[in-house]
Chains A and B, each alone.
Chain A
Amino acid sequence: MPDVWVLIDHEQGVTSKVSHQLLTAARGLAAKAGGEAVAIFLGSGWATAKDRIAKYGATKALVSESTDYEDFLSSPSVETVSALIAERSPWGVLFPSSPSGKEIATRVAVRSGLGVLADSTNVDIAEGKLSCEYSAFGGSTLVTKTLKSGPFLICVKPNAFVAEESAADVSEEKIEASISDDAKRVVIKERVQKEAGGRPAVDSAAIIVSGGRGLAEPANFSLVEGLADEIGAAVGASRAAVDAGWYPHAHQVGQTGKTVSPQLYIAVGISGAIQHRAGMQTSKTIVAINKDAEAPIFSMVDFGVVGDLFDIVPKLTEEIKRRKGGG
């Protein structure tokens, strides 16, 4: 069946934005491949997930409800997805290009003797052939790749596709999956949540406001956070800021941190060294605020402000607040 599957990323049935983006992508691909967009739902919370999945246009769902998927690391998902592929031979499977999505996809690939593409920024079928775009060398080079044969396993970067609603009736099929002892070797013993804040995660946020060395001291990250909260953004940080201990590494954007492609990236007090540009230059819209008119970041912005961030950022935050308030 030339169906296009999506491995749904969720927490207790609360599906992630990336899942909605991948379902949107799957609809487009399925139309070209001549199949259906199918959600693969593994874990608990199907009752919660069902409506959300229908909203983004999956016409079918393969559902395996078991706590094994949450108690053990990756392997139960690898086992079930591999078995389903062997049994039904879809056109391909889209995975979120997150650490766990890539890990599952890779292991399914090795186990099933298939190829896998990581970090795709676009997926298409052109003249009957799979065509995936991929950003190399920090976004300076665009590479188009394909896989020799299907079923195709493709990891898609968050924000590569814009989620579009398209309500459908989902027919669900419950899968009886018996997870082997081998797949239960790595146990998740404890989940520690460090950050309580309601901000989105850097990896998948639609908007990111990042701070760098120009902030001068760690306490000034509050300016970045204030702007981020007003505009609904995640907070990022440059390597200089992270190396100085001003902000946690989980927020670092750049070659040794996260590679992101949000709709909007606002760089505050970041000069734009190649190591930083490598992590963000595929962002849809780039804005920079920096006092140095010669900073390399200005060579790659859609909108740049040359000036004192300590003056501009608080005023910008106030201005946005005012406009949101009906101004």
Chain B
Amino acid sequence: MSLNIAVCVKRVPDTAAEKKLDPTDQTLDRESVETILNPVDEMAVEEALKLKEAHSGEVTIISMGPEGAQPQAIRKALSMGADKGVHLNDPALHGSDAQAVAYALAQVVAKGSYDIILCGAESTDARTSLVPPALAENLKLPNLNFVKNVEVADGRVSAHRETDRGYDVIEGPLPAVVGIVWGANEPRYPSFKGIMASKNKPVETLSAADVGLDLAKVGLAGSQTQVVASGARSSERARNIVDNKDGDAHVKLADFLQQQKFI
């Protein structure tokens, strides 16, 4: 069975960069930092490409966000070998929380007839991990989240889900929303040929109206969560630092741990 695969991706600030909030509306100041394709989404793209290689089919990359770096995230996935992109871009979406994002993505996904929808189980910025289950619930599809070793056979998908002590083997019917866990695979580097080919791959840009979004459910106003305040965390620490030149630092550390009642 050939598979029609969608992968939802987002760009994130580079994990090594310092980030800040825009003081005017408490949303992430995305212009102030270098951004990259969310590394966990990269693993979802790799998983999609592996499924395509095993079953044949097509990989569509879906992303939402403003002009600029968002298309770059799609391009990166295309250069890895995905076939086409869909970019949802509308000013009305600015400030959407995770639930609003999932609602908007669900409307885009619903326009295609995908057998399997992959996402990174979390992003390296907000890390709320809310989007994959919220996407599944919006689409009323089964959700397999925080998984690796994804396999498709006979219209069903199975995968390993990380647990505290090992993993669970889980399985459900297609279509399904599958959230890929960090470390699921080693994403391929785009080849020069892949990068050149990606320039000719189609990326469709859609507005909120194109996918019939209910504007009351997106943007800052449509989001249920509200940021009341933000500020630098006061992290006053004692910074009691001892040098082990006398060879008794372990005693001083043990004293400290005992005072703090850890021993």
Q: What residues make up the interface of A, taking CB atoms closer than 8 Å to B?
A: 73-75, 78, 99, 102-103, 106-107, 109-111, 114-119, 131, 135-137, 139-149, 182, 185-195, 201, 203, 207, 231, 249-250, 255-257, 259, 263-264, 273-275, 281-282, 285-287, 289, 293, 298-308, 311-312, 315-316, 319-320, 323-324
Contacts and interface: CB of A to CB of B under 8 A. Distances in A.
B134 A106 contact: yes
28 contacts: A73-B144, A73-B172, A78-B137, A110-B133, A115-B97, A115-B225, A118-B129, A119-B127, A136-B230, A141-B230, A144-B230, A186-B143, A186-B172, A188-B169, A189-B158, A191-B163, A195-B166, A231-B263, A250-B162, A264-B260, A298-B239, A301-B237, A301-B240, A305-B242, A306-B243, A308-B244, A311-B244, A323-B254
A263 B260 CA distance: 10
B193 to A, nearest CB: 28
* Max chain A C-beta neighbours (<10 A), residue from B146, B233, B238, B263: B233
A300 B254 contact: no
B197 interface: no
B253 A106 contact: no
B142 interface: yes
B32 to A, nearest CB: 12
Interface residues of B, dominant DSSP: mixed
Contacts of B232: 140-142
Interface residues of B, number: 84
Nearest to B223: A115
A11 to B, nearest CB: 10
A188 B170 contact: yes
Given A99-B162, A117-B225, A141-B20, 17 more contacts: A75-B142, A78-B137, A109-B99, A142-B232, A185-B172, A195-B165, A250-B162, A274-B18, A275-B16, A285-B262, A286-B237, A305-B242, A305-B249, A305-B250, A306-B249, A311-B244, A320-B263
B214 to A, nearest CB: 12
A257 B224 CA distance: 28
Contacts of A74: 133, 143
Contacts of B143: 73-74, 103, 107, 186
